[in-house]
Amino acid sequence: MIPAAWICLLSPLAATLLITLGWNRLSRRGAGYLATLSVAVSFVAAIVAFAALLGDSPNERYHPSTLWSWLTAGQLDFGLRIVVDPLSVFMMLVVSGVGMLIVLYSIGYMDGDDEERRYFAYMALFVFSMLLLVQAGNLLILLVGWGLVGLSSYLLIGFWHDRPSAVAAAKKAFVINAIGDATFALALFLLIQRTGSLNFEVVFTQSIHGSWAINLIALGLLGGAVAKSAQLPLHTWLPDAMEGPTPVSALIHAATMVTAGVYLIVRTGSLFEQAPKVLELAAGLGAITIVMAGLIALVQVDIKRVIAYSTMSQIGYMFLAAGLGAYPNAMFHLMTHAFFKALLFMAAGLVIHALAGEQDMRKMGGLNRLLPFTYVCFAIGALSLAGIPPFAGFFSKDSILAAALDGGWYGELLWVAGMVGTFLTGLYAFRMLFIVFWGEPSGFVREHLMPGSHAHAREGPLSMTSTVGTLAVLTVIGGFLQFANVWTPLTTWLDPVARPLVEASGTQEAVSSILAVALGAAGIGIAWWIYGSRKAAAPRIAWAQNLLEHKFYFDEAYDFAFYRPAVFLATGLSRWIERPLVFGSVRELVQGVGLLGRDTSRLQTGLVRTYVLLIAASIAVLTVVFVAVR
Amino acid sequence: MKGPDVVWYLCVAGFLFSTGALGVLIRRSPLIVLLSLEIMLNGANLALIAFSRHFAQGDGQIFALTVMAVAASEVVVGLGLIVAIARQKLDLDVDKLSTLRG
């Protein structure tokens, strides 16, 4: 048992409770500092846990610890149990580290909002839930964390609850995630039936009898992962989730929560490996999502939505890697993606902050001279996203593509999709960069950023710029954690928990890297040609434009397939069943009781004499009956 | 055993009970109603004691004593109520005390 792990887990929960109970006694600033401090404590505790694991020999790095028996039913016993092993410590470091920076950034971003305290309480609750998810020692606790991150995501998307669009987005996210939660829970039921436990060491070491059972279990888990990570076909909630405050998008809908699906596949890898078809399905869904999200991102005009689609696309890479069994590569990309995507979101947050909440890229332009620091940070993030060396995205994305080459013909197919994705990534990332930062400042921009004011004041307070700067540095150096075939500490570290199934050779690495960089650069070049230099206009193909602007008609299809029939059924039931039968019968009942009461009250004359007579008469009748029956 | 047969006692008890019941039913003064109630209770008591004697068991006598205690308490409350009604200068007529009509 490692006490630091419990401190890491419970510190944000304590902050949530303190902020909630303190309410008005706590200053708004105080709530922000308290939340930041609690996540910082978590980060330090995660480092301590990491150091404790480093002291063990690689095969002994597994420390379960149960606080108490949480749920007992018959033979089953689920403890409030956490596990500290290389995978969970890795996730703890990423979640608390990036979380700390983003909560600190929020202090500046949310300054002046009416309900800052509620915001920080939710943020700390989210960090707690996410840590519970990654530290869980059995699948039930994992499911609890899974549900709690869904809840905090719902609360934070709908944080500005006076905007109808935010409320609708929160509802959508919750409902779609609930589908995933349901399939996840069903998989757990089947798993309990087959193995009699949900503890990791029991579940992952038994082989499950019956191919349909293991396939169903893996499918259920995949359903949960797909919904949480916004992969096809349950991806429609993520772009709408951008209604939340920008730091929320950075923390929950880019860096941590949406990658939980990848974590789940890696964690339950030994179950998925018994159902190879489902694993291939996961990789295939990832590949389709890469291309589709990349295409949709090309036509979006909301700066946050472009980044949201790029998040879907990048998580597609992680799914691709996890589905091929390249677990360390998936986790590596998860980490670098957390850095550069949080960086992109928060740099976009600086722009939005400077422009008083405007998110429409068409109104922006020429910001590179007005917000030079933001421009540099955003450019680093975009270069990393496009996979240009030496930024972090290059190392992690290319290792995934190389691993795909090692996965047989199916892997090669996925590799092609990944390569197309790389090209699209360069294109949409730099389309966004050029539109927002290049060219002449637009009238809207000049209105908000008067040339007389200081650049520092414009770019936001220190709490925001310092965290964005830190993430920019991490994005520059983060990729050197692992260099394929030469320097692989992450693969070695994760080896006891998630041993990769594929291993790319040096040639495959070289071929993938060169091609990916070339394609990424080509994407950037075309973006420059069209949006940077403006030498060519973007081609207009009406049907393609339509298709992409409607996001491949997924929302419309779901609306038609599920929403409309449900509403139709509900109105029908209301008109034909509820109103006549349920409401009608209740009304009849009420009237009947009233009538009965009025009639009965006539018996009550108020005359003692009648009462006595009634009593006497009843006794007489009773006596007669009694005698007669005998 | 000395004295008349149990039947005679029951006859007297029945007579007393009927007298009381008639009084409760037809008299209008609450005072008389209360008095008639006491007569009914005494009729019942007489029957209890007669049976107790007939079967040579003490239970009936004990029960009769309990009934007397309850009757005494009831009279205290009843007379108290009657005095309260009189103080309010209301008619001492049970037929006019009908505010509990439904």
The secondary structure of A523-564, three-state, reads HHHHHHHHHHCCCCCCCCCHHHHHHHHCHHHHHHHHHHHHHH
Spell A364-384 as b/e; 16+ CB within 10 A means b: bbbbbebbebbbbbbbbbbbb
Please state, in angstroms and rounded to a whole number, the distance separating the CA atoms of residues A436 and A90. 35
Please write the tens of the pLDDT for every residue from A427-443: 888 888 888 888 777 77
Please check whether residue B32 touches A, CB under 8 A. no
In a domain, B2, yes or no: no
Q: Please name the member of B25, B99, B102 whose beta carbon is closest to the beta carbon of A609.
A: B25
In a domain, B99, yes or no: no
CB contact (8 A) between residue A606 and residue B94? no
Please check whether residue A605 touches B, CB under 8 A. yes
Within 8 A of B25 by CB-CB distance, chain A residues are 609, 612-613, 616
Please write the tens of the pLDDT for every residue from A586-608: 999 999 999 999 888 887 877 77
Q: Please name the member of B21, B94, B102 whose beta carbon is closest to the beta carbon of A608.
A: B94
Inter-helix orientation angle A462-477/A327-354, to 10°: 150
Within 8 A of A617 by CB-CB distance, chain B residues are none
Chain A residue at shortest CA distance from B23: A609
Please check whether residue B97 touches A, CB under 8 A. yes
pLDDT above 70 (res A455):
no
CB contact (8 A) between residue A609 and residue B100? no
Number of domains in chain B: 1
Query: Which of A140-144, A193-197, A238-242, B62-66 comes out lowest in average pLDDT?
Result: A193-197
Please write the tens of the pLDDT for every residue from B37-86: 999 999 999 999 999 988 888 889 999 999 999 999 999 999 998 898 88
Within 8 A of A608 by CB-CB distance, chain B residues are 33, 94, 97
Q: What is the mean pLDDT of chain A?
A: 85
Nearest alpha-carbon partner for A95 in A119, A135, A127:
A127
In a domain, B100, yes or no: no
Please tell me the distance in Å from B81's CA to the nearest CA on chain A.
Answer: 15
Say if residues A463 and A59 touch (Cβ distance below 8 Å).
no
**Helices of type H across A164-302:** 164-195, 200-203, 211-228, 237-240, 246-250, 260-267, 269-273, 276-297
Within 8 A of A603 by CB-CB distance, chain B residues are 102
In a domain, B29, yes or no: yes
**Beta pairing class for A63-73 and A76-84:** antiparallel
- Dihedral of alpha carbons A383, A384, A390, A394, sign: negative
Mean pLDDT computed over A109-123: 84
Inter-helix orientation angle A116-135/A139-157, to 10°: 160
Bridge partner residues of A266 (DSSP): none
In a domain, B17, yes or no: yes
Domain that holds residue B38: 7-93
* Percent of chain B's residues with pLDDT above 70: 95
Within 8 A of B94 by CB-CB distance, chain A residues are 607-609
In a domain, B35, yes or no: yes
Chain B residue at shortest CA distance from A609: B25
DSSP letters spanning B33-44 = HHHHHHHHHHHH
* Angle, CA A57 vertex, CA A51 and CA A58 arms, to 5°: 90
Residue A126 is predicted with a pLDDT of: 92
In a domain, B85, yes or no: yes
Report ipTM for this prediction: 0.77
Within 8 A of A616 by CB-CB distance, chain B residues are 21, 25
pLDDT classification of A161: cutoffs 50, 70, 90: confident
Q: Please name the member of B25, B99, B102 whose beta carbon is closest to the beta carbon of A601.
A: B102
Please state, in angstroms and rounded to a whole number, the distance separating the CA atoms of residues A616 and A183. 69
In a domain, B102, yes or no: no
Token reading at B49: 């004691």
CATH number, domain containing residue B16: 1.10.287.3510
Please check whether residue B56 touches A, CB under 8 A. no
